[in-house]
Structure 1
């Protein structure tokens, strides 16, 4: 199967957001990686409801911690791209690759800076009216731009 960018949710906290991202990845035909600890059970009703009946089409991998996912990505010769509201290249100016793993952080605290120090980062420019976008909204924006730039649209 040809490569497409993947989405990674690092320690997600809110079940409906993760369910919405799961539906997004099913629709885009990309892999979803969840890094534990999760802020909910995979049997959570809100998670399942947000993903609707698309769960059988979600290509989901749950990782026991950051180091295991990071090693997998490096072993595959792929690149981690981190989303942060604090710094980075505008998402629409970034040169995405089909093998990128796009990492989004927990909804209430974002990614820890030590995770992405020295790594490629992207941001979605927004006005000062809000601190950040909803994580599942940001995931959709970043994923479809990565699919467009890497010529891997569904």
Structure 2
């Protein structure tokens, strides 16, 4: 019988969406956050009203369980949370630091994603050039993945060591 004290440490990871545009993606990511017990951090402006039915529809009846924190902008988030550099993981299609499989994610990591049409703002990417990772895509026919799919894939990879 497994020793309950030998379990992996509890992770307190967060998914951060910077200026999300599509309510269904935000709702779906919220549902993933509930499944993995992650906090969802949303940074304004949004391309939708957070009370829209489409956010709640994608999150189903789980949306009420999302641990949600909102910030007016990236600066307010950084000022309030003061994340260490090694906690920040940015995800872009062309992440030069490697793939999502390369880092060892600390239990308090911030998994940061940008808006669906343009990604993260240049000032955010420019401040963390060594912290930008990508999901590998084998087909030359795909430019990018849906934000909700990408965030879910990254979250499960990042949480891998903590889900045992």
- Same fold by TM-score greater than 0.5: yes
CA 1:75–1:86 in 2, change beyond 3 Å: closer, same or farther?
closer
The equivalent position to 2:33 in structure 1, one of 5, 25, 47, is: 25
Q: CA–CA distance in 1 between the matches of 2:13 and 2:48?
A: 25
Q: CA–CA distance in 1 between the matches of 2:18 and 2:65?
A: 21
- The structure whose residues are more often strand, as a share, is 1
Q: Is it true that 1:99 corresponds to 2:108 in the alignment?
A: yes
Contiguous gaps of at least 5 residues in structure 2: 1-8
Between Structure 1 and Structure 2, whose CA radius of gyration is higher? 2
Instruction: Please state how far the C-alpha of 1:56 moved relative to its aligned partner.
Output: 2.0
Q: Is it true that 1:153 corresponds to 2:163 in the alignment?
A: yes
| Structure 2 residue aligned with 1:139 | 151
For normalisation by structure 2, the TM-score amounts to: 0.85
| Structure 2 residue aligned with 1:66 | 74
User: What are the within-5 Å matches in structure 2 for residues 104-123 of structure 1?
Assistant: 104-119=113-128, 120-123=131-134
Contiguous gaps of at least 5 residues in structure 1: none
| Structure 1 residue aligned with 2:46 | 38
Instruction: Please state how far the C-alpha of 1:3 moved relative to its aligned partner.
Output: 3.8
| Structure 1 residue aligned with 2:55 | 47
Q: CA–CA distance in 2 between the matches of 1:113 and 1:77?
A: 17
The equivalent position to 2:141 in structure 1, one of 117, 121, 129, is: 129
